[in-house]
Amino acid sequence: CLQDLDGPSNDDHSLTAQLKTCAHHGDIEKAEAMLATMLKERQTLSVEDYNYVIHACATARDVTRAEQHLRAMVTMGLLPNLISFNSVINACAMDGDAMRAELWLRSMVDH
């Protein structure tokens, strides 16, 4: 889903567009690589950046990694939003884990 990460088109909009493409294809590895590149270049990440990676995890049905990225977002001092929680809940639902989805729903309400 990505062009060469070291290519000439790595402006902020291009990086975000590439991250979004990875998310929609469920390409977690490339989305995570893109997130690392963005952090290196910008020295900061946004909630939207993390949401794209969480969405990639959900699309790939990798609940554990979706949860890890939501927690990493919080560790970085970012406040997860409805999209963040919804993506993790969706990953749980697609994995057939209703109890885990309910835990995240409660976490979202308490947040």
63: left (phi over 0), alpha (psi -120 to 50) or beta: alpha
Say what the pLDDT of residue 42 is.
84
Mean pLDDT score, 25-42 = 92
Torsion angle of C-alpha atoms 14, 18, 23, 25, degrees rounded to 10: 150
For 82-101, give one letter per residue: b (16+ CB within 10 A) or e.
eebbbbbbbbbbebeeeebb
**Does residue 33 carry a pLDDT above 90?**
yes
Model pTM score: 0.86
Which is nearest to 111 in space by CA: 91, 94, 92, 86?
86
Q: Using an 8 Å Cβ cutoff, are 49 and 78 in contact?
A: no
Summarize pLDDT for 82-103 with one digit per residue, the tens: 999 999 999 999 999 999 999 9
Summarize pLDDT for 42-83 with one digit per residue, the tens: 888 999 999 999 999 999 999 999 999 999 999 999 999 999
